[in-house]
Each structure stands twice: as C-alpha cells, then as structure tokens.
Amino acid sequence: MAGRQWQPPPSRSKSRLFLLLLLSLAAAILILIFSAAPSRTSAFAGGSSSVSYPSAKPETSFLVSLEDFLARHQPSSREDTARATADDAVVARFDESVSKREELKLPEELHYPMALPVRVYVYEMPRKFTYDLLKLFSNTYRDTTNLTSNGSPVHRLIEQHSIDYWLWADLLAPDSERPIRNTVVRVYEQEDADLFYIPFFTTISFFLLEKQQCKALYREVLKWVTDQPAWKRSEGRDHILPVHHPWSFKSVRRYMKKSIWLLPDMDSTGNWYKPGQVYLEKDLILPYVPNVDLCDAECMRESQSKRTTLLFFRGRLKRNAGGKIRAKLVTELTEAKGVVIEEGTAGDSGKAAAQKGMRMSIFCLNPAGDTPSSARLFDAIVSGCIPVIVSDELELPFEGILDYRKIAVFVSSIDALQPGWLLSYLGNVSSAQISKMQDNLVQYSRHFIYSSPAQPLGSEDLTWRMMAGKLVNIKLHTRRSQRVVKESRSICTCDCQRANSTGPPLGNFP
C-alpha cells in the first residue's frame, strides 16, 4: 500500500517529561514576576519581600547622610505647579478620579484602606523650599557659632529636629535601596496616593533665614500648597506637614491646622500650640534625633560594671514654662549621695560629657524642657540609661506600638519634689527589675534611630506604621466634610479630648 511510512507513536513517558518541563518553566516565570512586584498587603499579612538590599551599614549621622544625599540628588527639572485653574470644577474632577480608584481598591485589596504599604505622593516643590535650604545648612554649619536666645547651638537644634530630612530622603531613594518598601511606597500619580508629603524644611528656614525673609517664605509655601487640587479636595487632612520644632512655621500654621503635623510633643498648656491645632487623632509625635552614640548590646555588657551613679542629669538647669521644675529638682537633689547633676555645655565636649555620664549611670533624670519633651530622653534610651520622666504633659512617639513602661519610670512632678521621695523610690528598685529594663532598652533603641537607608523597625518605619492607622479616620472626615451642609452642624475635630497628665505611680514598680 502506497503512502507515508508508518511511525510508532511517541512514548507516554516522553510526553509526561515534556509536560513537566513546560510546567516547571511556567512556575519559574511566575515566581520571577511576583518577586519583582511586591503585594500591597504582603507586609500587613506578615509576608516578606525577596528583594535583596544593600548590606552596607546604615548611616545615622545627619551631616554625613546629608552630604551624600546632596552629592547624589539634583532638583527635578519638573516642579508641581499650583494650577491656576484649580477651581471647583478641577477639584471635582480630581475627586471623581480618586473615588473611582478607591472603589476598585475596596474589592481587590483585602485590608484596604488600612493595609501596608502606605502610598505617599511627594510634592515636587520649587527648590527654594527644599534643596536650597538643605544646601544653606550644609554650607554654613561648619563655620557658624550662632546660638538661640537660651544658649542652644542653632545647627545642633536643626539636627535634633531633622525628621523632615530623614523621611524625605527615604521616600526619594530608589526602591532597590529601601528596606522599608513594604511599609511605605512613593507613588507618582496623585490619584493613587493615600497621603501627600510636603517636603518643606520648616526648622532650617526658621533658624537660618532672616526673620522677615522666613515669614515671606512661609507665606509662599502656604499659598503653593493650599492651591493644589489635592489640598482643596480634603482641606489638607491627608497632607503631612513636618513642624518638628515648636517655633517653626508658627506665623502661618493655623491655616494648615487640619493637616497631619509631625511634632515633638503637644503641650496642652497652650504655650506652644493653640487649642484645637494639635491632637493625637490627627497628628504624630516623632522622636528627636539622638545627640549621643548608640550603646548596643556589646556596649551595655562592657558598661555594666561602670554604672555606679544612681541618677544622672546634664543640661541647662534653668528653663522656661513647664521646664521650671528643673531648678526645683536641682535644689532637692544637689549633693545627694549617688546623684550627679551638671550644667550642660554646647559642642563636642558637651556631647562627650553627656555620653560618658549616661553610660556610667543606672537612671537618667528627664524633666520637661521649655516644652514637655526633651532630646535628653532619647539620648538616655540609646545610652542604656533608664529614663526617669518628670513631665506631666508629655506625649511619646509611637505609643500604641511601644510600651514605655518597660524602659522608663514615670513620676509626677508633685511626688518628685517631695523631700527624699524620688531617691527613696529609685533605691527600692530591685537589681532584677533594673536588669530587665536595661535589656529592654537594648531592644527598644532601634526604634529611635534615624538612618540612611531607613531600617525596618527604625523611626521612619514606625512613623508610617502609625500613619497607616490614621487612614480610615482621614478618609472618614474628608468625605464627611464634603457632604455636611455648612452651618448645619458642628463638625467633630476631636480637639475636646481629655488632656494628658502623668499621675503618681500605682502599686509596685513594674
């Protein structure tokens, strides 16, 4: 029979092998795709990213990190401009675009709107608000001898309050260099953003510009930001404003009181913030940048035998407002056994003396400064010295994530000023309790360190975790404000909350 020669059918084993090879190849491709595009919900659900990050030691010096940042970054040729046509129609179209995207996220993203990473749009502002101010600091800090009216070195104050730099530098870094990309990501379309970051350096401008020049720049920033459609849509509720020094941005900040302020404390006495401007439901407390070096686990082991001072304090002994308690405590504690109290001095010698004193002490006294908070608290934490906090109006960073009772002693000012009370109280703390708190300090210190690149569980990371918890409330008040008829009812602003007050210790020492 003529025709094509008969061929035996392929063996079943060869077919199976070929199929297995195809499936393996498809699986490998899928793994590559998903590892390159991290899920928004992976960090929230406890997942981990397969992205490899630089292994270099993080830089914690503001000066070193800033010099590197300025060398590697240049202002963008593109600047967000306040649109002259940002009228009601433009804002309405923007709002409609946001609404459509949010409607899509709701069924697609399991934990929306609370999930990590937080999506942040970073405004590309004119360079006079950003890079020019950083360069002004960089060009002058080596030569200046400027002091504030109370004797504090200006450039050191800027370093202590440089949280605006650390957050901005991290957001601008490439994703491949950002270990906290599962916590926060930068987005490039405003409609995609959960929050908007305003990269204006309020502390640098306050201290390094002439007074009238500074006020004029503040007014320019105010107009630039409040003219943006995204601001008009929410009245600033989803905008982040770094005002970490209590004197900064003071002349215009009342016009931005609905935005999220990044603060060192709140001071409900009204000395620094007007009633209704700040409250925990809206704003975020962030730690000062420590002025001393970190005492890690090895350092703590080596310093144990040297910690022979019961209670240490070094700083300015006379302060204003709530800080007046310092002078009274000094009178009470002077010449007491086991207590070292020193008048602080500025500069490298002052830093060295403070660091040495804290590493030789078990407890470090932390009374209020001019404001309820003080950078000394964070110096004590990273030095392994148990803080003794005497500040009745203090609010603390990341409280809600961190339990400060594990690392600090809280004492009311009334008790602290009773003759002999404080030293008797501290003297009754057992060695086991002290050892446990010192171990906790070693573990907690990482939460108060800013670095480049920003590290998991560092200050920047916890900042965005706290921000994520505010998103539902931000969206609630944004939508509610859009539909409430003016004058029909009062709009809740949560500014009637009970004031913070540190009471006397209850029961035994924890």
Please count the structural domains in the chain: 2
Distance (Å, rounded) from C-alpha 410 to C-alpha 97? 49
Across the chain, how many H-helices and E-strands are there? 18, 11
In a domain, 75, yes or no: yes
Instruction: Give the three-state DSSP class for 25.
Output: helix
**Burial class of 36 by CB neighbour count within 10 A (0 to 12, 13 to 18, 19+):** exposed
What percent of the chain stands above pLDDT 90?
Answer: 62
The angle that helices 375-383 and 348-359 make with each other, rounded to 10 degrees, is 50
Domain holding 346, by residue range, is: 297-448
Looking at the structure, tell me whether residues 201 and 339 fall in a common domain: no
Last residue of a domain, one of 448, 481, 500: 448
In a domain, 145, yes or no: yes
Looking at the structure, tell me whether residues 335 and 261 fall in a common domain: no
Looking at the structure, tell me whether residues 187 and 277 fall in a common domain: yes
Distance (Å, rounded) from C-alpha 344 to C-alpha 496? 38
Looking at the structure, tell me whether residues 167 and 209 fall in a common domain: yes
Q: How far is CA 55 from CA 42, 52, 451, in A?
A: 23, 9, 14
In a domain, 488, yes or no: no
Looking at the structure, tell me whether residues 137 and 229 fall in a common domain: yes
Question: Cis link prior to 275 (omega < 30° from 0)?
Answer: no
Q: How far is CA 88 from CA 85, 125, 368, 443, 478, in A?
A: 9, 23, 46, 51, 16
Continuous segment of H or E residues that includes residue 386: strand 386-390
Q: What is the per-residue pLDDT across 100-116, written as a single tens digit (0 to 9) for each?
A: 999 999 999 988 888 89
Q: What is the per-residue pLDDT across 8-43, written as a single tens digit (0 to 9) for each?
A: 444 445 555 555 555 565 555 444 443 444 444 333
Q: Can you give the pLDDT at residue 40?
A: 45
Closest to 112 (Cα-Cα) out of 180, 34, 40? 40
Last residue of a domain, one of 448, 469, 499: 448
* Residue tagged 């060695």 (tokens): 431
In a domain, 13, yes or no: no
In a domain, 214, yes or no: yes
In a domain, 405, yes or no: yes
Distance (Å, rounded) from C-alpha 500 to C-alpha 395? 7
Instruction: Give the three-state DSSP class for 229.
Output: helix
Q: Can you give the pLDDT at residue 438?
A: 97
Looking at the structure, tell me whether residues 208 and 259 fall in a common domain: yes
Looking at the structure, tell me whether residues 441 and 304 fall in a common domain: yes
In a domain, 28, yes or no: no
Closest to 195 (Cα-Cα) out of 209, 182, 184? 184
Looking at the structure, tell me whether residues 153 and 83 fall in a common domain: yes
Looking at the structure, tell me whether residues 268 and 302 fall in a common domain: no
More confident residue, 294 or 39: 294
Last residue of a domain, one of 216, 250, 285: 285
Looking at the structure, tell me whether residues 101 and 221 fall in a common domain: yes
Q: Can you give the pLDDT at residue 52?
A: 42
Looking at the structure, tell me whether residues 199 and 347 fall in a common domain: no
pTM: 0.84
Distance (Å, rounded) from C-alpha 360 to C-alpha 278? 38
In a domain, 395, yes or no: yes
Q: Which segment of 120-129, 327-336, 372-381 scores lowest on mean pLDDT? A: 327-336
Q: What is the per-residue pLDDT across 206-263, written as a single tens digit (0 to 9) for each?
A: 999 999 999 999 999 999 999 999 999 999 999 999 999 998 999 999 999 999 999 9
Looking at the structure, tell me whether residues 273 and 393 fall in a common domain: no
> 373: domain CATH number?
3.40.50.2000
Closest to 440 (Cα-Cα) out of 405, 475, 482, 391? 405
